[in-house]
């Protein structure tokens, strides 16, 4: 997978997380995972289809998701309820929209699916024939992993 696909997602995740959380966000080191990867607990998934195809996963632990939703709603939340889930989906939406604008400017043409939120314990994600690049973003509420597995349509 080409690194230029993940950079726009990392940049826009940095921008959006900094803006909505108002604190410091640090970019961790990029790593590659070709085998099955466990999901942290709450994952928003957005599909890409077009000249570039695959999926982007915004992966975080449940406590991190609840804390981020609390900050974005300016109220203390204790459970991952419908509002918290809508908040994390919207976060994924905002990050993806910004990244896709950049990718479109670079000349890649594709459409997106609305984000789906997956929650649970001991989940794994398997990507066939395409490896995933992962960049963890460290926020003061915990880590949000940007997990991108896309390829050019053959």
Residue 95 buriedness (CB in 10 A; 0-12 / 13-18 / 19+): buried
Q: Can you tell me which of 19, 24, 111, 140 binds another protein, judged by CB under 8 A?
A: 19
User: Is the separation of the CB atoms in 68 and 139 below 8 Å?
Assistant: yes
What span, in angstroms and rounded, lies between the C-alpha atoms of 144 and 138?
A: 6
**Residue 87 interacting with another protein (CB under 8 A):** yes
Among 26, 49, 63, 104, the residue binding another protein under the rule CB under 8 A is 104
CA distances from 1 to 16, 69, 81, 118, 142 (A): 24, 32, 35, 24, 27
Question: Binding marks (x or -) toward another protein, 52..81, rule CB under 8 A?
Answer: --------------------xxx-------
Q: In the bound complex, what is the minimum distance in angstroms from residue 86's beta carbon to another protein?
A: 4
Count of residues near another protein by CB under 8 A:
20
Under the binding rule (CB under 8 A), the answer on residue 94 touching another protein is yes
Q: Is residue 106 involved in binding another protein (CB under 8 A)? A: no
What residues make contact with another protein under the rule CB under 8 A?
16, 19-20, 72-74, 82-83, 86-87, 89-90, 93-94, 97-98, 100-101, 104, 114
């Amino acid at each position: 997978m080409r690194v230029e696909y993940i950079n726009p997602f990392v940049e826009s995740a940095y921008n959006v997380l900094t803006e909505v959380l108002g604190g410091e966000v640090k970019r961790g080191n990029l790593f590659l995972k070709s085998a099955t990867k466990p999901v942290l607990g709450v994952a928003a998934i957005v599909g890409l289809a077009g000249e570039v195809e695959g999926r982007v996963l915004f992966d975080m632990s449940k406590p991190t998701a609840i804390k981020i939703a609390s900050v974005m709603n300016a109220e203390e939340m204790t459970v991952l309820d419908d509002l918290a889930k809508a908040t994390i989906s919207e976060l994924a939406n905002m990050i993806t929209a910004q990244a896709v604008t950049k990718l479109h400017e670079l000349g890649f043409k594709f459409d997106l699916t609305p984000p789906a939120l997956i929650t649970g314990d001991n989940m794994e994600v398997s990507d066939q024939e395409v490896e995933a690049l992962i960049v963890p973003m460290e926020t003061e509420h915990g880590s949000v992993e940007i997990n991108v597995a896309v390829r050019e349509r053959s």
